[in-house]
Chain A
Amino acid sequence: MIALLQLAAALYLASGIAGGFAVALGGAGAGRAALALLGVGVAAHTASFVALHAVEPTPQLTQIPLAVSLMAWMVVLAFLAFARRARLGGLVVAVGPVAFLGSFFAALRTPHAPEADLMGAGSWPHAHVLLASSGLALLAVAAIAGSVFLLENRRLKRKSLHPARRGGGLPSLETLDRVNAVALAVGFPLLSLGVLTGALWLHAARGVLWTGAAHEAWNALAWLIYAVLAAARFAGHQGARDAAVSAVAGFAFLLFAVVGVGLLA
């Protein structure tokens, strides 16, 4: 399982490098190779989950390394689903490295003993992790689209249009903004369901919806921030650039709340 995860991480990294070449040099062949590597990487990643399931019928998905691995896997799947509908091939340059970091981190920190909290909580922990990871994955895609939007926006505003830096293969600003909006529109409800199922898990395991633990407070705050950002976005109060900044900043905060606080603890 670890070997497959390491293979997936290597393939993701290779796809990011090939994507970098495609963007810097504008080669269509490198772009196709990057997408193909990402596709093979996600297949290896899927195989690692299958192998895990064979060893452990109820995997400890609530453990951070596995949750991060699941999130990286979903980021790639969500990206590939988006890429089928729009010309997003150039985004491999960002998606590949993000997926690499997630899977590499998971490969380094293999899961250990099962958590006592899982006992007697039924399927809530898995529902929580699956929904929250899906939401996080889509918000990660929104953040990636937002980051690339900001770079491209800056380039076009500054008119730094030397051919070598023209960003061949990257999607248009309008496409990046649409990806950001769609990922937020689907990702935020999934994240909300993740938060809800998390509370229900707590209730099933300990009889309370809220224990006051630090990571719960951070997660609730992150959700609240996203709720405000989503409302601003869909009420039409944000332009594309502000939405991109929100997507990047919001995801950074969310990642810290979900992963960073857990690791620090």
Chain B
Amino acid sequence: MKILLVGLSHRSAPVELRERFAIDAPEPILAKLVAADEIDEAFLLSTCNRTEALVLTRRPEAARHRLRSLFARELAGEDVSPGAVEKALYEYTDSRAMQHVFRVAASLDSMVVGEPQILGQVKDAYRAAAGAGATGVILGRLLNRAFATAKRVRSETRIAERPLSVARVAVDLARQIFESLEGKRALLVGAGDMGEIALEALRAEGLRELCVANRTPERARALAERFGARASGFDALPALLEAADVVLTSVGGGEPVLTPQMVAAAMHGRGHRPMFVIDIGVPRNVDPAVNEIAAVYLYDIDDLDRVASANAEQRRREVERAEAIVQEEQQRFDGWLAALRAVPTIRHLRARGEAVRQGELERFLRRNNLGPEQREALEALTRAIVNKLLHAPVSRLRAEAETEEGLAYLEAARVLFALDDPGAPGAEADARVDDAEDE
């Protein structure tokens, strides 16, 4: 049994290629995959940054061929060159595939490391696969371990704590100044794109009342309509400033739009309640001396960028700790899989022991006439001997199965007890075990 993963992501393919592989309804594809002889379990993940297929297979080469064909022919469409798809596809097997799934769920392979959405997307994809009956014991367990790993990474590291975008940094700073952004008033001065983005992030935190002021009121009106805000020209700035808790400036031009005198007057009018001024304009729209006024917190684009960079550096350090957790969880899962591989050998060993015992017992009973009580006693005695003899090797096989030497121990057991020798005494029992396993 092999675990095989084939896919493409933001690391291997540009967006114009990735978008061709978006899967809205994975169920029919999953059904088709598990209907194939070579695939026992399957799972599909499709997000805006990746499309991946994970399968459990007894025939890795055939499964590999099927998955590559799924990407290159069925998903890509006719106008995408198979060569480009082949180049973008990556492929991982067994431990590497497990590690990749754990890293994806823990957001270590995301475009923005630490972003929280990916875990929900993997969970949704698992629900779809389980609902379609495409996952079984092994992939089910693998994905559940991936969720647990992601949870550990989030709780044991600070990978998701620090915002990385300028807009999110502004929100983070606002939360350090204000108890809540709900009910706070915002003023957008100018109608630049960056201002809009930051405003959008602040609105997502509950900021409701909004006013847009621009040199050209028409542009202000267009923007205000989109945000359900009020619009005005620059002449109303002093009054608007007095009412605003958060001020965003994004104006083109060289002269500062907000001067210390204007802001000081506004602060007096608003009873010195705190004001957060975010200057995203380049050149700057707000005189830096404004930051000297009590209860005014002025941050320009460089300040925000500096925080974002420091946060990114902090995240990079956290990634190392997160990778160690992934490694640990992957090894644990590897151990579980290895233990699973020991099960057939242990079954064979026990069946072989039992067959030898029964064979010898029958032969003895044919030659000796024993009463029922004596037969029962002999039965119990021989069973106890076989069990005691097998106890140590079976326990050792179980324990060693989870270690690196596990396979060597399994191999040694098969050789020492001649489990693969069809002519060995009791070998006919092996066929029954194999049949039972196949069923």
Contacts and interface: CB of A to CB of B under 8 A. Distances in A.
Given A174-B274, A239-B272, A161 B177 contact: no
B291 A157 contact: yes
Nearest to B291: A157
B175 A163 contact: no
A156 B173 CA distance: 8
B178 A156 contact: no
Contact of A240 (B179, B295, B299, B310): B295
B272 A86 contact: no
Contact of B176 (A163, A173, A178, A236): A173
Contacts of B291: 157
Interface string B161-178: 110000000000101111
B162 to A, nearest CB: 6
A239 B176 CA distance: 18
A26 B176 contact: no
Interface residues of A, number: 26
A171 B291 CA distance: 21
B299 A159 contact: yes
Most chain B CB within 10 A, of A162, A236, A239, is at A239
Given A161-B307, A168-B161, A173-B274, A241 B294 contact: yes
B311 interface: yes
Nearest to A155: B176
Contacts of A168: 161
A172 B272 contact: no
A241 B161 contact: no
Interface in A204-256: 236, 238-242
Contacts, number: 57
Nearest to B299: A159
Interface in B169-193: 173, 175-179
A108 to B, nearest CB: 39
Contacts of B295: 239-241
A163 B272 CA distance: 28
Contact of A172 (B178, B303, B313, B314): B178
B179 A175 contact: yes
Interface in B307-332: 307, 310-311, 313-314
Contacts of B303: 159, 161
Contacts of B310: 161-163
A156 B162 contact: no
A27 B297 CA distance: 26
Nearest to B313: A163
Contacts of B347: none
B230 interface: no
B271 interface: yes
Nearest to B178: A174
B2 interface: no
Nearest to A25: B158
A157 B290 CA distance: 11
B71 to A, nearest CB: 40
Contacts of B306: 159, 161
B177 A172 contact: yes
Nearest to A87: B179
A86 B179 contact: yes
Contacts of A161: 173, 303, 306-307, 310
Contacts of A87: 179
Interface in A140-166: 152, 156-157, 159, 161-164
Contacts of B314: 163-164
Interface string B249-274: 00000000000000000000001111
Interface string A84-106: 00110000000000000000000
Interface in A111-143: none
Contacts of A156: 173, 176-177, 297
Contacts of A171: 179
Contacts of A162: 310
Contacts of A172: 175-179
B119 to A, nearest CB: 18
Contacts of A167: 176
Given A163-B314, A239-B295, A241-B294, A178 B179 contact: yes
A82 to B, nearest CB: 13
Contact of A239 (B162, B179, B294, B313): B294
A152 B272 contact: no
A174 B177 contact: yes
B263 to A, nearest CB: 14
Nearest to B176: A172
B177 A173 contact: yes
Nearest to B314: A163
A163 B311 contact: yes
Nearest to A175: B179
B274 A240 contact: yes
A172 B176 CA distance: 4
Contacts of B299: 159
Given A163-B310, A240-B272, A242-B294, 10 more contacts: A156-B297, A157-B297, A159-B299, A163-B162, A163-B311, A171-B179, A172-B175, A172-B178, A178-B179, A239-B295
27 contacts: A26-B158, A87-B179, A157-B291, A157-B297, A161-B173, A161-B303, A161-B307, A161-B310, A162-B310, A163-B162, A163-B311, A171-B179, A172-B175, A172-B176, A173-B177, A173-B178, A174-B177, A174-B178, A174-B179, A175-B179, A178-B179, A236-B271, A239-B272, A240-B272, A240-B273, A241-B295, A242-B294
Top 5 closest A-B pairs, CB basis?
A239-B272, A163-B314, A174-B179, A175-B179, A161-B307
